[in-house]
Amino acid sequence: MQAIVSHFEKLLDHKLEGLHERLDQVENQVAGPRATNQRHPPNPRPQHPIYNEYLEDPKDVEEYEDIQPRRVNRPRDRLRRPREEDGGLGGVKITIPSFKEKSDPEAYLEWEMRVEQIFSCHNYLKNKKVKLAALEFTDYALVWWDQMQKERTRNGEHPITTWEEMRAIMMRRFIPSYYRRELNNHLQRLTQGSKSVDEYYKEMKIAMIRTNIMNDNEATMARFLYGHNRDTVDVVEMHYYVELEEMVHQDIKVEQQLK
């Protein structure tokens, strides 16, 4: 009986010895990464300026991190701000009116004014303005422009590349030299006659603009009253006016009351 007990004790000791060896191996495996981590400590917490200046308590730092908004990956298109408008009409399609020579200075001046307005709304390059305007030439104007450009090339002259050059050449061609002189004479003789006050005022203003007459308000009002019909001019002159438009509005009011 004693021999049997002794045999089982030896078997148990052998099993326990093997178990201890396995436990030692497991402990060594676990201790390896820990030692590595101790040799290479984790990166310290990134320091934010607010940590040292305002959050001295570590608990406050943790609370501060908790309240920080998380960055959300948004589509890039949403983050792009729309380009601010510069006051122009770059996104609006505006067509330059066509031009054909009609031996009518008024038609040319009206076309030129319209083109100037369009160019003021778009930031066109200088040479592009010339090309855009020339594309709208028709009939004689188209033939004249093409021939004039060819002649400049043959004569060794530089091509017309700016709107200012183009406008000056067109004015010499389509505005007769006597036009402004006749227009100025017409302005000097202009009277209201059968025209309404508004029609008379507009005709006078257009003639002044065409002849480049730049009078002050007093001179312009005197010119307006000089050609005015006598039936209402006395009533209009009873008031004092600072601006010509103010006088015209009062004049129109008197005219309507007398109808």
Structure tokens at 189: 């003789």
**137 in helix, strand or coil?**
strand
Structure confidence by residue, pLDDT tens digits, 1-55: 566 656 656 666 666 676 667 767 767 776 665 555 555 555 555 554 444 444 4
Structure confidence by residue, pLDDT tens digits, 107-160: 899 999 999 999 988 888 888 999 999 999 999 999 999 999 999 999 999 989
What are the helix (H) ranges across the chain?
A: 2-39, 49-54, 58-67, 76-79, 105-121, 126-134, 139-154, 163-174, 179-189, 197-210, 217-226, 230-236, 244-258
Q: What's the whole-number average pLDDT of the chain? A: 77
pTM of the model: 0.55
CB 92 within 8 A of CB 121: yes
- Spatial separation of the C-alpha atoms in residues 173 and 211, rounded to whole Å: 17
